[in-house]
Amino acid sequence: MVRLMTVDRLPEVVVIGAGVVGAACAWYAARAGLRVTVVDRGPVAGGTTGAGEGNILVSDKPAGPELELARLSVRCWRDLADAVEGFEYDPKGGLVVAGSAAALDGLRATASGQRERGVTATEVRPDELHEHEPHLADDLAGGMYYPEDAQVQPAAAAARLLRDARAHGAAVRPNVEVTGVLRSRDGLAGVRTSAGDVPAGAVVNAAGTWGGEIAALAGVDVPVLPRRGFVLVTEPLPPGVVRHKVYAAEYVSDVASDDASLQSSPVIESTAAGPVLLGSSRERVGFNRTLSVPALRRIAAHAVRLFPVLAGADVLRAYRGFRPYCPDHLPVIGPDARCPGLYHACGHEGAGVGLAAATGHVVARALTGHPPGTDPTPFLPERFG
């Protein structure tokens, strides 16, 4: 016997995943007039969203498809912050710093390509660095300032977007696990869940690091794997101690690396509440949640290298999460031609918060049959064959 999940009205779209990407998909789809139901096997922002820092960056993306998506996302987040308040949106700008002349050359080359795509990147001479960040180490080779970089509180962003989507007719069902898919002759016809079946014409896979499992339920291959990262949280510090999103030029090459062992480069930003977040580390160790003292030690040492003043700050706690990465380091976004009715919105690696808004926009445009604001081709799932 078929048991249907109890909802007021049957949805047209089921979004799997109540992280920031699923929330953005639900928000844009609901605002486009679609009836949306969001399900998540856990709570809102219970996965990687709740373990992130909340960065919206163009600065760390060299010219290419992901930069185009990031540029769109910067604009989309600005719109979201106007339409939906309460998630600490802060267009604080990003400062990428170089410790050596070679690293500075790399920054210049990256910025040159980004400028051709319309990104604002201003070189900062060593003697000007302190005008941007008074506590920065005084032996750096220079930096690049990106005024378009911004920050949000990711869990709050997911929650606020979902609340607003509900005000526009969406249903949000946490603690409901997808256990299978419903099929019709034409493709997917909904999902089977722990709370009953949910028939729907479209299914959005926004399951983040677990997106590969959802794809497998639908019989298609989407290779999303976990890349562990730790973040240290300091005691609250005065607002002026760290002003921008500040990170080292080496961060960009760390992200692009295919090395499985521990990589660490400093990424530092303050939060509205006062604590400063110190990242970052990258390791491919599956879903192992064990606290890694070597990783924490390196994050702390790197942070103090950039901001010597942090040596006197206490760390209150550390958290970890699992970035959803694909082998080609691009997210998986859009309709799956191998399985009509299935749409993907996962695999954003460490850029999920930043790219969430554009992802929601692109997915909603695909769901309603409209052209998106950027070329979606590089993100289509068929690239995995």
Binding site for other proteins (CB under 8 A): 134-135, 235-238, 240-241, 274, 309, 313-314, 316
Rounded to the nearest 10 degrees, the angle between the axes of helix 65-83 and helix 154-167 is: 60
Residue 363 contacts residue 333 (beta carbons within 8 Å): yes
Are 97 and 136 contacting, i.e. CB atoms less than 8 angstroms apart? yes
Q: Is the dihedral of CA 352, 357, 358, 359 positive or negative?
A: positive
Q: What is the rounded CA–CA span in Å between residue 76 and residue 130? A: 31
CB of 307 to other proteins, least distance (A): 10
Tell the smallest beta-carbon distance from residue 160 to other proteins (Å): 20
Residue with tokens 């790219």: 355
State which residue, 85 or 375, has the beta carbon closest to other proteins: 85
Closest approach, Cβ 344 to other proteins, in A, equals 40
Which residue lies nearer to other proteins by CB, 216 or 316? 316
- Name every residue whose Cβ is closer than 8 Å to that of residue 139 and which is 6 or more positions away in sequence: none
Q: 225 or 233: whose CB is closer to other proteins?
A: 233
* Residue among 86 and 134 whose Cβ is closer to other proteins: 134
Give the three-class secondary structure for 359.
helix
Q: Which is nearer to other proteins, 241 or 330 (CB)?
A: 241
Smallest separation (angstroms) from other proteins to the CB of 274: 6
Do the Cβ atoms of 9 and 35 come closer than 8 Å?
yes
CB of 216 to other proteins, least distance (A): 40
* Run of H or E residues at 151: strand 150-151
* Residue appearing with tokens 């016997």: 1
Task: Rank residues 109 and 311 by Cβ distance to other proteins and give the closer one.
Answer: 311
Q: How far is the CB of 130 from other proteins (least distance, A)?
A: 9
Kindly state the helix (H) or strand (E) to which residue 23 belongs, with its residue range. Answer: helix 20-31
